[in-house]
């Protein structure tokens, strides 16, 4: 018959190892696959809630979508902001080791505010494109064509640009344009600073669901070449010839 005391002692010896394995697995998952993220501000309302007095959304940020490609216009991304970007309600780093450990665990499970260098915004334009605001209807344009932005909340229609992005740069803006400090204030961000794609709201349960990536540049490809239009019209107007046998 097994000695209960010996079994309990064995479990106590194994517990630190099990905890270490769990922490290592959590860090690997967070680093390479998926990371919970806490929305710290109202800059992405109403897509993502982070307003004062409301229950802040918790989201999952996925890493694999950008393993083989760059963020696209319409994607909501989490990125590490350059030093010139001020924080948006993120937590200050505590001084003592216990508080830092607790904050690390909270960030790992998405219950604590992110680092003061992490931001969440929507990609508006990518390298090689020219972005500015506004056209005669107050819309942001990319390469001269207006964007289709159904997610906008309290747009302030603040003028900027034109700005032509270099390769590897992103122009990012908050959906709540009137309460977002973004590329309009601090310039573009680097693709290399993107942590991942905001893919899923996981809390509160009443708001759980996928975060969409609308094709905001569906009308931003510019008009068709006039010569092409003329040729197509002529082809439609000329009756087909009689086939020779």
Residue given tokens 């989201």 in the structure block: 59
- Among residues 41, 87, 121, 197, which one is catalytic? 121
43 catalytic residue (yes or no): yes
What whole-number distance in Å separates Cα of residue 94 and Cα of residue 57? 23
Residue 157 in 3-state DSSP? coil
Assign domain 35-214 to a CATH class: mainly beta
DSSP 64-128: GGGSSS---TT-EEEEE--TTSPPSSPPPPPSSHHHHHHHHHHHHHT-S---TTEEEEEEEEETT
- Among residues 41, 43, 180, 213, which one is catalytic? 43
7 catalytic residue (yes or no): no
Average pLDDT over residues 231-235: 40
pLDDT computed for residue 135 by the predictor: 94
Q: Pick 14 or 22 by higher pLDDT.
A: 14
pLDDT tens digit sequence for 92-148: 556 676 666 666 666 555 555 556 678 999 999 999 999 999 999 999 999 999 999
Angle at 108 between CA 103 and CA 112, to 5 degrees: 45
pLDDT tens digit sequence for 154-198: 888 899 999 999 999 999 999 999 999 999 999 999 999 999 999
DSSP 129-161: -EEEE--TTS-EEETTEE---TT--S-----EE
- Let me know: does 133 contact 140? Beta carbons within 8 Å: yes
């Amino acid at each position: 018959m097994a000695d209960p005391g010996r079994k309990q002692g064995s479990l106590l010896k194994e517990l630190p190892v099990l905890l270490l394995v769990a922490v290592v697995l959590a860090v690997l998952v967070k680093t390479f696959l998926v990371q919970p993220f806490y929305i710290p501000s109202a800059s992405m309302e109403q897509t993502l809630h982070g307003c004062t007095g409301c229950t802040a959304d918790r989201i999952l940020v996925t890493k694999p979508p950008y393993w083989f490609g760059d963020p696209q216009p319409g994607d909501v991304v989490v990125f590490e902001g350059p030093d010139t970007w001020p924080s948006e309600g993120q937590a200050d780093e505590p001084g003592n080791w216990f508080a830092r450990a607790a904050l690390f665990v909270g960030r790992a499970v998405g219950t604590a505010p992110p680092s003061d260098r992490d931001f969440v915004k929507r990609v508006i334009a990518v390298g090689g494109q020219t972005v500015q605001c506004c056209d005669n209807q107050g819309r942001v344009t990319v390469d001269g064509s207006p964007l289709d932005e159904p997610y906008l909340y309290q747009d302030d229609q603040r003028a900027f640009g034109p700005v032509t992005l270099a390769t590897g740069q992103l122009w990012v803006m908050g959906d709540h344009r009137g309460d977002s400090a973004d590329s309009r204030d601090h310039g573009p961000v680097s693709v290399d600073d993107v942590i991942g794609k905001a893919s899923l709201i996981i809390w509160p349960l009443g708001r759980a669901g996928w975060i969409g990536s609308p094709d905001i540049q569906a009308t931003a490809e510019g008009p068709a070449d006039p010569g092409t239009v003329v040729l197509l019209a002529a082809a439609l107007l000329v009756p087909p010839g009689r086939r020779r046998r």
